[in-house]
Amino acid sequence: MIWLRSLVYFVAMTLSIVVATLAIWACRPFMPFPRLSRLANAWGLANLWLLKVICGLDYHMKGAGHLRREGGYIVLAKHQSTWETLSLRGLLPPPQVWVLKRELLWVPFFGWALIPFHPIAIDRKAGRKAIRQVIEEGQAALDQGRVVVIFPEGTRTAPGAKGHYGTGGALLAEKSGYPVVPIAHNAGVFWHRRGLKKYPGTIQVEVGEPMDPRGLKAKEINQRVEEWIETRVAAMPQSPEG
């Protein structure tokens, strides 16, 4: 039954991506960026609803009040699953800019839908050039009141594992002075980083208090964020049964 429900959701998600992409590009010429962003958020929330209805997979979010609606801060989130790439689009304030690998823009429909929202698309092999791009384009987005979303681990990690926390987001915080909001979750327990199955249950999401980076070096910012996220994730259920 889990396989069947997961397959039905996969088909529904794929169709939602196609429909959302066509709607975004159709509306782009005459719809202002804030409204276009709300359209993208509606797609993220729709997928959360589909997951709950089809797969029995829900979420519980703690600390949502730390997410200011006006934007102008940096979100550094745990990366375990595809779930957070869908859900954060709907749960965070609409004016978002994501840091992502540029190859994602080449993915049919999904990548095309990202383009109108001006993501910071980096070449992960570019080293310091990629970091400079994150700082320069991230600063511009923050100055416009947008939320810059970064997965500091860069790639999805299995539950119980911890990837290397890159310093790009921390350097952006150090240079810009904008606050950092960490997000921890255990989505990988229910939606593995590889595979089709989505197990029923409730994903735990916790949003931390905004961190003021002024007076701190990137290394210290990164260390504080990593310790907070990993401590919270370790305290969450590590199996679908809890």
Q: Which residues of the chain carry a pLDDT beneath 70? A: 242
120 bridge partner residues:
99
> Please, what is the Cα angle at 180 between 175 and 181, to 5 degrees?
165
Residue 69 is predicted with a pLDDT of 85
Q: Rounded to 5 degrees, what are φ and ψ at 102?
A: -65, -25
Spatial distance between the Cα atoms of 222 and 204, rounded to a whole number of angstroms: 22
DSSP H/E element including 4: helix 2-27
The secondary structure of residue 104, as a DSSP letter, is G
pTM equals: 0.95
pLDDT digits (tens, 9 = 90+) for 7-35: 999 999 999 999 999 999 999 999 999 99
Non-local (6+) Cβ contacts of 90 within 8 A are: 41, 42, 43, 44, 45, 46, 47, 48
Predicted local confidence at residue 62, as pLDDT: 98
Q: How many contiguous H segments (helices) and E segments (strands) does the chain have? A: 8, 7
Say what the pLDDT of residue 210 is.
97
Task: Decide: 24 and 44 in contact? Cβ < 8 Å.
Answer: no
Q: What is the pLDDT of residues 114-148, one digit of tens each?
A: 999 999 999 988 788 999 999 999 999 999 999 99
How many angstroms separate the CA atoms of 120 and 7, rounded? Answer: 32
Angle at 110 between CA 167 and CA 193, to 5 degrees: 55
Q: Which CATH number describes the domain made up of 2-234?
A: 3.40.1130
The Cα–Cα gap between 188 and 180 comes to: 23
Measured CA to CA, the distance from residue 135 to residue 173 in angstroms comes to 9
How much of the chain is in helix, strand and coil states, percent to nearest 5?
50, 15, 35
In this structure, are residues 29 and 109 in contact, taking their beta carbons and an 8 Å threshold?
no
Q: How many CA atoms lie within 13 A of 32 on its CB side?
A: 3
- Predicted local distance difference test score (pLDDT) of residue 126: 79
User: What is the Rg, in whole angstroms, of the alpha carbon atoms belonging to the chain?
Assistant: 17
